[in-house]
């Protein structure tokens, strides 16, 4: 050993070797593990050119993703498995970690930060972009927790500044009549951005605007003086419409870069709806302008903006019946599919009422052979289940369902009908016994864009042993904005 250490050749060889090792380590740390095979691998560092978000080759890019709900309430849906699943199955290229400051969030529970870190690491591993969102809301003035924000973003930018995946959103939705752009928000942003820029010279920073991130136009006279800044515009399709879209166009015309870092298919309170026509209007508008977005929210809260239903587990792999109507809409928008299910019932809630069914006699029971999930609906003799579902915003309506028919004989039948607002018409009448079978019916044109549309399933059976099982009832249509 002694002689090896003394030998100058071996010593310099060892020195070079260790330098090489250090370099490889450094390099490995700087790039995502994926390189060219992932979305971030292909698009790299983002930059803002004029009003447009662009990739490393200066080509316009549009990111589409989900926002978490409050991390400390619904953090169970935020992990490597869900993020990879959403990337692979929905085509998600962006994830937003909504870290509430108040409402039991970071200020009282700084540990919530660990969830942010878990999500950021998961997004880096998955090769997608990730927004670290300082989710002010009831604390309308971002200056209230400015020192905590600076400390938080100092740490985040130190940890993640070298990764092209990361986007900072430094104040979700400033609000309150005294909380103006030039008076409160911009001075806050100047300080927080300076902190981030010390560690991260170029990743994109999204800055909230007044009136719950709707006041993007106030930026015009007093823009921030940093590179790669975008301004948040948040909308809820049931509440906000053309006026906000016109404002976006005005701002784009003035070279103000806009990021729709939060939007919902519902009203702005997160409930009511969904609003398919209005959502389609918004989505077409964003697509035409390549404006990036994140949808509120990846949670199973009992509010219509939540994408998941209580049957959704915490690890992804969700079937369409684990998704709410909002979740279905957003999933297929992300996948770029125009024809898609807009309602899907798997009876997993064990309650007909949660799917809006009207029921005479039918039950929901467990079935080992169910085509998806654990539960199915059972019809014995003279049972009916029916449902009203407006098809406004959809055309070329189809019904898909899985059924099994047992011990039917003679004139026994399972009847499937639809209603156009005036008359019921038969789609099918089945008497043949069968194991689980999936069938799809195209429903005539009068079912399109029809607020009074209904479907109905009826059983007419002669023996007590006869039974009809029903599962995965889907209404499928093409999104349209015809009124």
Q: Which residues are catalytic?
A: 173, 262
Q: Which stretch, 112-120, 178-186, 295-303, 465-473, contacts ligand IDC (CB under 6 A)?
A: 295-303
d(CA 53, CA 290): 8
Helix (H) or strand (E) segment spanning residue 29:
helix 8-30
Nearer to ligand IDC, 217 or 303 (CB): 303
Query: Is residue 179 a contact residue for ligand IDC (CB under 6 A)?
Result: no
The nearest distance, CB 205 to ligand IDC, in angstroms, is 18
* Residue 85 token pair: 């699943």
Exposed, middle or buried, 58 (CB in 10 Å: 0-12/13-18/19+)? exposed
Residues 375/346, Cβ–Cβ less than 8 Å: yes
The nearest distance, CB 367 to ligand IDC, in angstroms, is 33
Query: Is residue 169 a contact residue for ligand IDC (CB under 6 A)?
Result: no
Q: How far is CA 224 from the centre of its chain?
A: 29
The nearest distance, CB 292 to ligand IDC, in angstroms, is 17
Query: CA of 234: how far to CAs of 209, 214, 244, 323, 420, in Å?
Result: 9, 6, 9, 23, 36
d(CA 52, CA 342): 32
Nearer to ligand IDC, 101 or 165 (CB): 101
The nearest distance, CB 209 to ligand IDC, in angstroms, is 12
User: Within a 13 Å sphere around the CA of 457, how many CA atoms are in the beta-carbon half?
Assistant: 22
Nearer to ligand IDC, 269 or 360 (CB): 269
Which residues 102-131 are close enough to bind ligand IDC by CB under 6 A? 103
Give yes or no for a cis peptide into 374 (omega within 30° of 0).
no
Nearer to ligand IDC, 247 or 467 (CB): 247
d(CA 414, CA 338): 31
Query: Is residue 301 a contact residue for ligand IDC (CB under 6 A)?
Result: yes
Closest CB to ligand IDC belongs to which residue?
Answer: 270
Nearer to ligand IDC, 306 or 378 (CB): 306
When binding is defined by CB under 6 A, the residue of 55, 180, 199, 268 that contacts ligand IDC is 268
Q: Residue 7: left if φ>0, alpha if ψ -120 to 50, beta else—which one?
A: beta
When binding is defined by CB under 6 A, the residue of 139, 141, 169, 173 that contacts ligand IDC is 173
Which residues 186-215 are close enough to bind ligand IDC by CB under 6 A? 212
Number of residues lying near ligand IDC (CB under 6 A): 15
Local structure of residue 288 (DSSP, 8 states): H
Residues 251/220, Cβ–Cβ less than 8 Å: yes
When binding is defined by CB under 6 A, the residue of 139, 200, 303, 325 that contacts ligand IDC is 303
What distance separates the 2 farthest-apart alpha carbons in the chain?
99
Q: Which stretch, 50-58, 272-280, 298-306, 396-404, contacts ligand IDC (CB under 6 A)?
A: 298-306
Nearer to ligand IDC, 171 or 189 (CB): 171
Query: Is residue 247 a contact residue for ligand IDC (CB under 6 A)?
Result: no
When binding is defined by CB under 6 A, the residue of 61, 94, 130, 137 that contacts ligand IDC is 137
d(CA 378, CA 404): 10
Query: Is residue 236 a contact residue for ligand IDC (CB under 6 A)?
Result: yes
d(CA 364, CA 293): 38
Query: Is residue 296 a contact residue for ligand IDC (CB under 6 A)?
Result: yes
């Amino acid at each position: 050993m002694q002689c090896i250490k003394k030998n100058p050749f071996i010593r310099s060889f060892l020195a070079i070797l260790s330098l090489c090792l250090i370099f490889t380590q450094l390099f490995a740390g700087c790039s995502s593990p994926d390189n060219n095979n992932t979305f971030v691998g292909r698009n790299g560092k983002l930059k803002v050119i004029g009003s447009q978000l662009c990739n490393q080759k200066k080509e316009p890019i549009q990111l589409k993703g989900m926002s978490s709900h409050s991390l400390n309430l619904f953090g169970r849906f935020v992990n490597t498995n869900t993020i990879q699943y959403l990337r692979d199955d929905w085509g998600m290229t962006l994830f937003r970690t909504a870290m509430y400051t108040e409402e039991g969030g970071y200020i009282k529970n700084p540990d919530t930060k660990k969830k942010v870190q878990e999500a950021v690491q998961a997004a880096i591993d998955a090769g997608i972009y990730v927004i670290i969102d300082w989710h002010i809301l009831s604390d309308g003035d971002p200056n209230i927790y400015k020192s905590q924000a600076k400390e938080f973003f100092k740490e985040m930018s130190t940890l993640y500044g070298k990764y092209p995946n990361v986007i900072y959103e430094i104040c979700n939705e400033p609000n309150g009549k005294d909380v103006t752009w030039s008076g409160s928000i911009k001075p806050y942003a100047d300080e927080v951005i300076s902190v981030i820029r010390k560690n991260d010279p170029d990743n994109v920073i999204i800055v909230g605007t007044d009136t719950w991130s709707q006041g993007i136009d106030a930026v015009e006279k007093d823009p921030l003086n940093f590179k790669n800044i975008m301004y948040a515009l948040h909308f809820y399709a049931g509440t906000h419409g053309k006026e906000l879209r016109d404002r976006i166009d005005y701002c784009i015309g003035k070279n103000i870069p806009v990021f729709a870092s939060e939007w919902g298919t519902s009203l702005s309170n997160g409930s009511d709806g969904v609003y398919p026509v209005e959502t389609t209007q918004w989505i077409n508008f964003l697509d035409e302008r390549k404006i990036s977005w994140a949808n509120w929210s990846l949670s199973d809260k009992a509010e219509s903006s939540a994408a998941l239903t209580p049957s959704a587990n915490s690890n992804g792999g969700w079937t369409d019946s684990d998704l709410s109507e909002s979740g279905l809409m957003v999933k297929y928008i992300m996948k770029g599919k125009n024809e898609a299910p807009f309602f899907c019932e798997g009876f997993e809630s064990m309650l007909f009422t949660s799917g809006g069914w009207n029921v005479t006699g039918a039950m929901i029971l467990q079935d080992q052979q169910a085509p998806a999930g654990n539960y199915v609906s059972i019809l014995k003799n003279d049972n009916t289940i029916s449902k009203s579902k407006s098809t406004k915003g959809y055309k070329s309506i189809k019904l898909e369902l899985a059924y099994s028919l047992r011990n039917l004989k003679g004139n026994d039948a399972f009847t499937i009908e639809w209603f156009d607002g005036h008359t019921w018409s038969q789609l099918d009448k089945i008497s043949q016994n069968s194991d689980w079978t999936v069938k799809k019916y195209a429903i005539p044109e009068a079912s399109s864009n029809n607020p009074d549309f209904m479907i109905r399933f009826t059983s007419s059976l002669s023996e007590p042993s006869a039974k009809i099982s029903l599962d995965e009832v889907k209404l499928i249509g093409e999104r349209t904005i015809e009124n």
